[in-house]
Structure 1
Amino acid sequence: MTTLADLLKRRIATTGPITLADYMSEALLHPEHGYYTTRDPLGATGDFVTSPEISQMFGEMIGLCLAQAWMDQGRPNGVLAELGPGRGTLMQDILRATKGVAGFHDALALHLVEASPVLRAAQSARLPNPTFHADVSTLPDAPLFLVANEFFDALPVRQFQRDGTGWRERMVGLDSDTLTMGLSAAAPLALLEHRLADTKDGDIVEVCPALPAIMGQIGERIGTHGGAALIIDYGDWRSQGDTLQALRGHQPVDPLHAPGTADLTTHVDFEVITQSAAPARFTRITPQGVFLERLGITQRAQSLAQSMSGDALESHIAAHRRLTHPSEMGDLFKVVGIYPDAHTPPAGLEP
């Protein structure tokens, strides 16, 4: 049987090395062999677990945050959207938590941006009549209340290594019959001219080609029509270093081994996210744990714990810790809010 590795090797042998972004695109979204197009990657039987799968409390906090932003902006008719909704767990918890917010469900139509046919099926089974989009460009021009949890980390990136006043691009090529990383010839790069001031020879910078356009469209809708976006992911301000990682069965593996069978991610550059969101405003980057605590997750955890005992209670306590503690997901994951110029930031975040 022909594998994706076979197809990539033939392509490279014919046309030469490919960018890391091209490799990631094929590995994640190839129509026949791509990671996201062929499987449900989430949960204990998958390759990784996200915050919504750890505890319902995560989605509840997000839902109430978006509902508060909706009320603060006058309860407009518009869109409730999620980028990369996984199995639909986060949106299911958002909808349940906001069921008691008068008018919220009636005012906001549910729209999901999802490329995976497998995950679209899971979302359709769990959520009420979602409208699907292949990308953000077809979301309606209307007030937009949006969440993106671990969406941007899966977007393909290119990697550049500093060489004097120029840059070499890290490319995927062949060594005999094995996929391997190599370097292009050094050349000046206008895209990274500003990074000459804070890098040295050998440093690696990652660039996500799709990110500015996606955030630009989100920022345009929110800045023009109103709404709010919560971007939650691991990363920091300004890309630095090789952050590419692959997970299979919850264990790290070689990103170039058996493409299409492992999840590929990189750390998110929050500087690019915020700078691409004009004309909307952006908040300070806030650790996930701090954000959730400000929204009241500990009080919610204590309330839920009153009806629990034994193993269920221990699991509940562990889930709260995993979401909020600095040594777990609390500091690794960051949150940034996008909001209109004339309004206050989403709850839990600061301008």
Structure 2
Amino acid sequence: MTPLAQLIAQRIRATGPITLADYMEICLLHPRHGYYATRDPFGAKGDFTTAPEIHQMFGELCGLALAQAWMDQGSPAPFTLAEIGPGRGTLMADMLRAIRKVPGMAGAAQVALIEASPHLRQIQRDRLETVTHLDSVGQLPDKPLFLMANEFFDALPIRQYQRAEDGWAERMVGLSDNGLRLGLGPVVQLPREGQPGDVVEECPAAPAIVEAIARRIAVQGGAAIFIDYGGWNGYGDTFQALRNHAPEDPLAHPGEADLTAHVDFAPLAAAAIRAGAIASRPIHQGEWLLSLGAAQRADRLAAAGDTGAMGALRRLTHPDEMGHLFKAMAIWPKGAPPVPGFDKLRLHADHA
């Protein structure tokens, strides 16, 4: 057992099985043994590679999309340029490089990163010149907000429920002779349809985070773009672990593997609309990037000698790579033009 597995086992022996949400939070954020507290998980030497680490064009296009939204809303100054779960700071660095080409924007931007990991905060400080770290979206200032979240919501703790004959039973982490195991708790009532054996997932924290962001945008102006892998209904078991770029049993090495689940975009859109903002339906990441000019940008970079540009374009946009697995969703204020790439994707309240 890993040191964290031993601590989890001690807790289960003392108080009983724990929810998947509790398990994920301990594994990812334990101050001494948690995954994000002890390592840099990104890139070839880590456990996974995110889109900003693949190529600079991803962050540049995200930055230019926010820049157009900023100009469409009258170039408000000052404003907050924020990212949730900013990793190494690569995405923000690439966005800032693009934003500096927009007259007046970089000087008006006050950069804020929402990051829980002290280890990653230091990496971000080393990479970015001036940055303010916040603990939560609730600490964002009351001013126009332009925000990115790439592969943030997939790492938030989830709860899982499995359909039994007489209702839904929550899947819990307990103990067996060989270590940690999944089992079922008491039957509870959920407002969900399903057949015996079906699994549904809920992420309690995500809608509240989106609602707080959307409320600021609805009142102060701004825009937010969320990019993650997921779908629209929350059905199915998507709880997974990644270690050394390969999948493994999520209970095998607590604290030493990345734990994620697919994002259900439906409650995120509903939360944004409830807060008074406009929400888009999700669009494939590849389709969104191509609509922003990703192919043309890759061509220019390749002509300038960037030998990795065309391969990166395929990886980011092709349906067999990240192009369809990942989705993008945006929110913006009522009365403002849509965020670029989301022009015909506006959701109405009765669809969220």
TM-score bracket for the superposition, by shorter chain length: over 0.9
1:302 corresponds to which residue?
Answer: 299
Q: Secondary structure at the match of 1:214?
A: helix
Segments of structure 1 that go 5 or more residues without pairing to the other structure are: none
| Structure 1 residue 202, shift from structure 2 partner | 1.4
2:53 corresponds to which residue?
Answer: 53
**2:230–2:263 Cα contact (<8 Å) kept:** yes
Root mean square deviation, CA, Å: 1.2
**2:145–2:223 Cα contact (<8 Å) kept:** yes
Out of 311, 332, 339, the position equivalent to 1:346 is 339
Distance 1:243 1:2, change over 3 A: closer
C-alpha distance in structure 1 between counterparts of 2:106 and 2:112, whole Å:
12
Give matches, 1:300-339, under 5 Å: 300-308=297-305, 313=307, 315-339=308-332
C-alpha distance in structure 2 between counterparts of 1:267 and 1:134, whole Å:
24
1:129 corresponds to which residue?
Answer: 130
2:111 corresponds to which residue?
Answer: 110
Q: For 1:13-54, what per-residue CA distance to the aligned partner results, in whole angstroms no more than 9, with x for missing partners?
A: 111000000000000000000000111000000000000000
2:207 corresponds to which residue?
Answer: 212
C-alpha distance in structure 1 between counterparts of 2:109 and 2:182, whole Å:
46
1:152 corresponds to which residue?
Answer: 153
C-alpha distance in structure 2 between counterparts of 1:316 and 1:293, whole Å:
14
C-alpha distance in structure 2 between counterparts of 1:116 and 1:292, whole Å:
29
| Structure 1 residue 89, shift from structure 2 partner | 0.4
**1:205–1:239 Cα contact (<8 Å) kept:** yes
C-alpha distance in structure 2 between counterparts of 1:165 and 1:293, whole Å:
48
Amino acid at match of 2:240: Q
C-alpha distance in structure 2 between counterparts of 1:249 and 1:304, whole Å:
30
**2:287–2:317 Cα contact (<8 Å) kept:** yes
**2:170–2:188 Cα contact (<8 Å) kept:** no
Aligned length: 341
C-alpha distance in structure 2 between counterparts of 1:223 and 1:165, whole Å:
42
**1:9–1:177 Cα contact (<8 Å) kept:** no
| Structure 1 residue 144, shift from structure 2 partner | 0.6
Segments of structure 2 that go 5 or more residues without pairing to the other structure are: 347-352
| Structure 1 residue 62, shift from structure 2 partner | 0.3
| Structure 1 residue 176, shift from structure 2 partner | 2.1
| Structure 1 residue 208, shift from structure 2 partner | 0.6
C-alpha distance in structure 2 between counterparts of 1:129 and 1:332, whole Å:
34
Amino acid at match of 2:111: L
| Structure 1 residue 177, shift from structure 2 partner | 4.8
**2:299–2:309 Cα contact (<8 Å) kept:** no
55-64 vs 133-142, greater mean Cα deviation: 133-142
| Structure 1 residue 163, shift from structure 2 partner | 2.1
C-alpha distance in structure 1 between counterparts of 2:76 and 2:195, whole Å:
49
Out of 205, 218, 224, the position equivalent to 1:223 is 218
C-alpha distance in structure 2 between counterparts of 1:96 and 1:125, whole Å:
16
Are 2:85 and 1:84 equivalent residues in the alignment? yes
Give matches, 1:1-351, under 5 Å: 3-77=3-77, 78-164=79-165, 166-188=167-189, 192-193=190-191, 195-196=192-193, 199-277=194-272, 278-308=275-305, 313=307, 315-349=308-342, 350=344, 351=346
**2:319–2:325 Cα contact (<8 Å) kept:** yes
Q: Secondary structure at the match of 1:264?
A: strand
| Structure 1 residue 234, shift from structure 2 partner | 0.1
124-133 vs 143-152, greater mean Cα deviation: 124-133
Amino acid at match of 1:149: N
Superposition misfits of 4+ residues, deviation over 4 angstroms: none
Sequence identity percentage: 57
**1:305–1:316 Cα contact (<8 Å) kept:** yes
| Structure 1 residue 128, shift from structure 2 partner | 2.1
C-alpha distance in structure 1 between counterparts of 2:309 and 2:144, whole Å:
35
Q: Secondary structure at the match of 1:13?
A: helix
Q: Secondary structure at the match of 2:336?
A: coil
Amino acid at match of 1:186: V
TM-score, scaled relative to structure 1: 0.95
TM-score, scaled relative to structure 2: 0.95
Amino acid at match of 1:274: A
Q: For 1:192-243, what per-residue CA distance to the aligned partner results, in whole angstroms no more than 9, with x for missing partners?
A: 31x22xx222111111111111011001001111100000000011101110
| Structure 1 residue 305, shift from structure 2 partner | 0.7
| Structure 1 residue 117, shift from structure 2 partner | 0.9
